[in-house]
């Protein structure tokens, strides 16, 4: 482990706990913009080329941020949807991240980065370190721990120096994740539980005053029993719980995730909020706000705080 000291900065867990208590919300909204699903009023921006599509997606995400900001603690832009639009998409991604932070929201970049050595350092620099006089692009980043302990060192350094948060992919909501994550080790544990213990160890040195670590974990909300086991194995970690809404996960199944405190888990909803207008018939911003408000109430009630 690195012996690099922590500098005087607010750790991610403390910033998150403050936001959760202030907003009385544990909800994140994923920003997964698809040009073919945008509202009619934005379609004109996406018909011609990738630059126009990126502009339309940026407008859509800004509108979603405005709509859901009263109800959520942060947003989770999924980088793949922006990368698909080339350089213009990357500029849109940066614009949306800056817009969300200006709106007082935490930004969790969903990039699932993972590599070793100088490549991992470059990923950490890109997302979690200050950009000159500007703050880091994101408050937190999803990372892949399946390359081992040393693959996380540059990200851990950013967590110590700059107050960044990490969410390690452990038990995902897709059915095929079991092909690897549920492989049984010689001691009878599935692989993901072995990595959960590693997450706990790595995060023990970066625990804030509110008792939450800067190193969290991604556990699919479609696996309620795994959520409970993850909480037992990682009592100080913030659990990021995707899969609520379009993927079939329910807030009612997630109560055990919050036993370490009101900010010890975050529920992410993406398509069910972004594209609520497609089934409700309402204005897209109104529909997104209504769905976010509904999920916020449900999750807060389930958490029991």
**Residue numbers annotated as active site:** 112
What is the spatial distance between Cα 104 and Cα 184, in angstroms, rounded to a whole number? Answer: 43
For residue 108, the cross-strand partners are 140
**Cβ pair 241, 295 in contact under 8 A:** no
Q: Which residues contact 3 (CB under 8 A, 6 or more apart)?
A: none
**DSSP string for residues in 45-111:** TTSS-HHHHHHHHHHHHHHHHHHHTTT-SEEEEBHHHHHTTHHHHHHHHHHHHHHHHHTT-EEEEEE
CB 262 within 8 A of CB 238: no
- In terms of Cβ atoms closer than 10 Å to its own Cβ (0-12, 13-18, 19+), residue 36 is exposed
Tell the residue number behind the tokens 């990200």, with chain if given: 155
Crossing angle for the helix pair 117-128 and 153-162, to the nearest 10 degrees: 30
Contact by Cβ (8 Å): 230, 256: no
Distances in whole angstroms, Cα of residue 24 to Cα of each of 59, 272, 293:
27, 21, 11
Q: Single out the residue of 64, 108, 32 nearest to residue 267, CA to CA.
A: 108
Structure token digits, residue 102: 């200006």
Query: Helices 50-68 and 86-102: crossing angle, nearest 10°?
Result: 20
């Amino acid at each position: 482990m690195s012996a690099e000291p922590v500098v005087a900065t607010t750790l991610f867990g403390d910033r998150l706990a403050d936001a959760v208590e202030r907003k009385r919300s544990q909800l994140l909204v994923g920003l997964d913009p698809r040009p073919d699903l945008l509202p009619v009023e934005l379609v004109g921006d996406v018909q011609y080329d990738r630059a126009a599509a990126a502009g339309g997606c940026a407008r859509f995400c800004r509108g979603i941020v405005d709509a859901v900001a009263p109800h959520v603690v942060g947003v989770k832009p999924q980088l793949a949807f922006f990368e698909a639009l080339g350089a213009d998409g990357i500029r849109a991604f940066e614009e949306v991240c800056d817009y969300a932070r200006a709106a007082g929201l935490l930004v969790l970049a969903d990039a699932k980065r993972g590599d070793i050595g100088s490549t991992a350092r470059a990923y950490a620099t890109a997302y979690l370190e200050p950009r000159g006089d500007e703050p880091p692009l994101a408050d937190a980043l999803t990372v892949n721990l399946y390359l081992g302990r040393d693959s996380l060192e540059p990200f851990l350094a950013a967590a110590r120096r700059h107050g960044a948060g990490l969410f390690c992919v452990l038990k995902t909501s897709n059915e095929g994740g079991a092909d690897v994550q549920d492989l049984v080790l010689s001691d009878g544990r599935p692989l993901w539980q072995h990595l959960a213990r590693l997450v706990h160890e790595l995060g023990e040195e970066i625990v804030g005053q509110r008792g939450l670590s800067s190193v969290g974990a991604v556990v699919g909300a479609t696996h309620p029993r795994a959520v409970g086991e993850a909480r037992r194995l990682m009592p100080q970690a913030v659990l990021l719980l995707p899969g609520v809404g379009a993927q079939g996960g329910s807030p009612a199944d997630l109560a055990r995730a919050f036993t370490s405190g009101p900010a010890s888990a975050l529920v992410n909803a993406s398509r069910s909020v972004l594209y609520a207008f497609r089934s409700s018939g309402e204005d897209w911003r109104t529909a997104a706000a209504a769905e976010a408000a509904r999920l916020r109430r449900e999750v807060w009630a389930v958490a029991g705080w």
